[in-house]
Amino acid sequence: MRLATWNVNSVRARTDRILDWLQRTDTDVLAMQETKCKDEQFPYERFEELGYRVAHVGLSQWNGVAIASRVGLDDVQIGFEDQPGFSKDPEVDPALEARAIGATCAGVRVWSLYVPNGRDLNDPHYTYKLDWLAKLRADAHAWATAAPGQPIALVGDWNVAPTDDDVWDPAFFEGKTHTSQPERDAFHAFADVGYTDVVRPYAPGPGVYTYWDYTQLRFPKKQGMRIDFVLGSPAFAARVTDAEIDRNERKGKGASDHAPVVVDLDL
């Protein structure tokens, strides 16, 4: 089975490109982030024409996550059990955002995740990000403990660069989000409960990235970040036979600012 994750940065703007990529790469399951549309705006029919079923959650023109699968799409769950919400106004109750969706595809439990950005180290969104990651870790630990034989994949845009090798210039990111120690600690804590980065052994760094900002010619200058990951439970990691970051998909007119991350599994 071929599983991929991709922050598509607007599914409606890139439908043709996404579907072409699915066909060319023979991908079975695609987790998408930043779909940037409401449920009723998602182009379901275009995916269904190619044999993919889609589960999507989108509440506005921001965020949005989806899973497209041609090998089954069962037990769909919107949001994880303890997923926190956010409100920039402390007097307004936090609201759940469209940042997590799970489904079982050919026996693999797949979670498409769009981790909060954090914005700034002094912003309430940063505290929200750390809380979001902590709650996800706790739930992911519970899932793996309850069903140790179940392959579980936590995939998506994590908005964390866990090591200095994952950014083009560590000094540039000092004092900013994505590379702060609390964020990195929150990411590495998933390894403490058994989830491993299954792509890195096949795409060693430094200089290997999944995201390049549209500005400042970051892509041609090779000034990127590795912030998109596939973290697998032991049962998932044991089945991985290959992985890659499809950097070429960041090229050309109309590209997302993220590249797809692909994993091959022997099921």
Specify the DSSP class assigned to residue 144. Answer: H
256: tokens are: 């997302």
Nearest of 245, 152, 162 to residue 195 by alpha carbon: 152
97: tokens are: 């955002």
Number of H-type helices and E-type strands within the chain: 5, 12
With beta carbons less than 8 A apart as the criterion, state whether 17 and 254 touch: yes
Give binding residues as ranges. Answer: 7, 34, 157, 159, 257-258
Q: What pLDDT, on the 0 to 100 scale, is given for residue 237?
A: 98
Model pLDDT for residues 135-148, shown as the tens digit of each residue: 999 999 999 999 99
Q: What pLDDT, on the 0 to 100 scale, is given for residue 35?
A: 98
Catalytic: 141? no
Q: What pLDDT, on the 0 to 100 scale, is given for residue 88?
A: 84
Catalytic: 266? no
Q: What pLDDT, on the 0 to 100 scale, is given for residue 90?
A: 82
Q: What pLDDT, on the 0 to 100 scale, is given for residue 91?
A: 83
**How large is the average pLDDT for residues 16-30?**
98
Cα distance between residue 9 and residue 33, in whole Å = 7
Give the chain's domain count. 1
Domain that holds residue 16: 2-265
Among candidate residues 28, 52, 126, 157, the one labeled active-site is 157
Model pLDDT for residues 175-228, shown as the tens digit of each residue: 999 999 999 999 999 999 999 999 999 999 999 999 999 999 999 999 999 999
Give binding residues for Mg(2+) as ranges. Answer: 7, 34, 157, 159, 257-258
**How large is the average pLDDT for residues 226-236?**
98
Model pLDDT for residues 30-89, shown as the tens digit of each residue: 999 999 999 999 999 999 999 999 999 999 899 999 999 999 999 999 999 999 999 988
CATH number at residue 78: 3.60.10.10
Catalytic: 114? yes
164: tokens are: 């200095």
pTM (2 decimals)? 0.98
pLDDT classification of 16: cutoffs 50, 70, 90: very high
